[in-house]
Structure 1
Amino acid sequence: MQFRILGLVEVQDERTGLRILPTGAKQRALLGALVAKAGHNVSVQRLIDELWGEHPPAHADNALHVHVARLRRLLSGPEVAGGAAQHAPHPWIVTTARGYTLQLASVETDAARFQELTDTARRILPADPAQAGELLRRALSLWRGPALEGSVLGDICAAKAAQLEEHRLTALEMMYDAYLRTGRHCEITGELVELTTDHPLRERFYDLLMVALYRCGRQAEALRVYEQARSRIVRELGVEPGPALRGLMEAILHHDPALATAPARRPAGPARPAPAPAEDEPPAGDAALPLGEEMARLHRRIERLQQEQNQLLRRFNELTAGTAQRVTAGSVPA
């Protein structure tokens, strides 16, 4: 059994694939609160506050007991359905002297699995950014929507949802940092633009986008990103960007060698392998991509073609200017 809170609150029976979805906001909030406090006692009064806030029903203790009993039956369902009724079901929810406790092992929630993957990625990021990026991609794929979606009625779920969202954004920052370390800067500019739009006060996303653009040869655009960041931060918070972002802007202005990309790790083979179309085109024989994926794929392809065109034009202009200078120098009498 895996308890999932990175999206709608649900329980997945890993043996049968059966998904258990609590019905009603109160049931979802109750399960969400117990999962958020898994392994710890949650008092009756705190659960009443979580479910009903400042307007509890008459006989709130009894009403809570009814919700707990329904949730217990819901969680014991897979045991009975799987033909294991002769065995006592696992006592997921335990009654204590002061309230209730959800008994879970350390890896029985998607949030715990997410944390495990991100912690491992953080440890290996300096030495193996490619593997760290893959671990972070897997960790972020566990998210199915906002944390504890549809369950935030009180402080327990609200605090847990905010904490998990912060962890998600930190994991995104680490993942794009890993991609920059492996020379994938031109692949991620579009995604970083979206993140700076969705999180306009989070300076780290601007930082990553500026570095990615600079390494793609788009210095002017990188500097414009700084101006956009500064405008948003000053308007919303009334302060200047932090020293890290200001320092990056100065480094870009002066072409600091430290901004040069680290060489990407490539498998042994030809020095200039033919470009693989797998990322832009569906594999032969596969069904057509969903509309959203198809649009995202085309957007990435257009962006890369624009980048290649800009690089070719810059190189052509450099060669043209050099040729003109040589011709002019050759026509002047010695």
Structure 2
Amino acid sequence: MTEIGVVMEPVPKCSAEMSSLIEDMGFDMVLCPDTQNLSADPYGQLSLIANATTTLRMGTGVTHPVTRVAAVTASAMASLQEESGGRAICGIGRGDSAAAHIGKRQATTEELRNCVLTIKHYLRGEAIDVGNMQSPIRWIDPEIIKPVPIDIACTGPKTIAMACDVADRVTFAVGSATERVEWAMNTANEQIEKMGRSRDEFKIGAYVNLICDHNEKKAISMARMLAGLVAHFTAMKEAPTEHLPKQLKPITEKLQTDYDMKNHSSEKGDHLDLIDDEFIDWFTIAGPPQKCIDRLGELIELGLDHIYLLGGSPVQEPRDARLRAMVKQTEVFAKEVLPSFK
């Protein structure tokens, strides 16, 4: 059975309450982004979520190597794992807005790989050679704290291949078009076959931008910001574009130079002028419950083990009202779509 979770902004005095509602709706997981200039710190909120829930798994969606070195992430994740009784997930990627908003570049695929391997060493209680000494995280005992699964978010072919090599969970961030997820799954399967790694050793899933609403026009309008944000992941500096389908390639090439990073994850982004309704309908799942069931079902049939929903909110400010409205909007999916996959 495919696990289905929700990505939500970490909001002090609100996250724990909302996560309890998400658990009651029947979701399996909740992830919080780690982007310090755009939202509150995730780790404090994730610990509160751990104490407000009993079965819900929780983690970052995503952290990265740019603002947190491997030892810091390993220590934070082990803390969350202990606090939650083994329900933590370390969602990690190359970094995007968190790096850009402090004037730094995102990590390379190789840097992400090295960071992930270092985190795994620490979580297994092993020492890392730091030049003049062997450096373990002394308080982590893997006999007491089970190592946290590493979940790598990946968009391009190189990062997908790397994730299949070292991750416990591989999660595509390629949009919600069936052909995009199918391409990513084929890319992953080719790498798995090349490595000789068993598919049973790890899980494969996807971040799915999805707005469920009986009013399709409203759903498509709410999905515009998400469509631009996720399309931007294909438009990183020097990212290859030759493998992209005709619907996405011209937008990617424009976003490589014209993405409005100062308004990342905001309805105010100038780049949203590039995102028309036809593109949204292809790249995002937006519309009434049956449409969501049909489109999401196509993705799950490709072999996905888990789905993380990137939803939208009809309210933009303030933060707590935005989060509450997003969770309220998610109720439509929980009541009328989720039962089809449980």
Q: Same fold (TM over 0.5)?
A: no
Q: Which has the higher helix share?
A: 1
Higher strand proportion: 2
Under a length normalisation based on structure 1, what TM-score does the superposition of the two structures give? 0.26
Using structure 2 for the length normalisation, give the TM-score: 0.26
Larger Rg: 1
